[in-house]
């Protein structure tokens, strides 16, 4: 019997990822897309704007920079109902340069997390919520890239203070 016949008879075993491993892989993919979109380590702390083909300006706030992490906020300012409202959609992102991961820590998609999860959700519910936020962010990054947002479309908003 040939070596090809023996290997083709052996079923291919694909390792099954845990939800946590899948979430870590999603963080890594978010990092890659975020790098293509804005290159966070090249942006100064402050407010920046990107203009894409979709007609919606993307605001990027570099909130804080630490030795290995950068705190970011991305949102569409035109979709905000006013100065005291949360823009929808908006994402708070922690970009880990050393680990090459980008994690959405807060995401607003029409409802606050307390209304979705309750005040004291179990761990499995919190992991599921993190997955949903980061899957949304991954798809949003893909959309932004398709609309022409990228490092060459970003301009600083020098005269405005950072909104925390």
Look at strands 69-75 and 46-50 and give their pairing: unpaired
User: Cis before residue 90, ω within 30 degrees of 0?
Assistant: no
Segment 117-127, tens digit of pLDDT: 556 667 777 77
Q: Could you give the residue ranges of the DSSP H alpha helices within 17-108?
A: 19-37
How far is residue 105's CA from residue 133's CA, in Å, rounded to a whole number? 8
* Structural domain boundaries enclosing 71: 17-149
Q: Kindly report, residue by residue over 34-57, the tens digit of the pLDDT.
A: 999 999 999 999 999 999 998 899
In a domain, 45, yes or no: yes
CA distance 51 to 59: 9
Q: Is residue 36 part of a domain?
A: yes
Counting the structural domains of the chain, the total is 1
Q: How many residues can be counted in the chain?
A: 164
DSSP class of 122: -
Residue 157 is assigned to a structural domain of this protein: no
Phi-psi group of 154: left, alpha or beta (phi > 0 → left; psi -120 to 50 → alpha; rest → beta): beta
Q: Is residue 159 part of a domain?
A: no
Asked whether residue 156 is domain-assigned, the answer is no
Between 94 and 89, where is the model more confident? 94
Residue with tokens 């897309």: 33
Residue 8, domain member (yes or no): no
In a domain, 48, yes or no: yes
The verdict on residue 68 lying in a domain is yes
């Amino acid at each position: 019997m040939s070596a090809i016949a023996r290997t083709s008879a052996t079923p291919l075993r694909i390792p099954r990822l845990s939800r946590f491993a899948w979430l870590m892989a999603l963080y890594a993919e978010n990092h890659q897309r975020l790098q293509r979109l804005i290159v966070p380590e090249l942006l100064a702390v402050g407010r920046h704007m990107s203009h894409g083909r979709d007609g919606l300006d993307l605001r990027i706030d570099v909130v804080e920079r630490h030795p290995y992490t950068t705190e970011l906020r991305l949102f569409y300012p035109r979709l905000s109902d006013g100065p005291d409202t949360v823009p929808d959609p908006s994402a708070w992102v922690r970009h880990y340069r050393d680990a090459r991961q980008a994690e959405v820590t807060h995401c607003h998609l029409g409802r606050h997390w307390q209304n979705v999860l309750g005040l004291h959700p179990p761990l499995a519910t919190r992991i599921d919520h993190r997955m949903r936020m980061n899957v949304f962010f991954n798809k949003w990054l893909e959309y932004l890239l398709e609309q022409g947002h990228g490092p060459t479309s970003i301009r600083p908003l020098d005269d405005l203070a950072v909104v925390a």
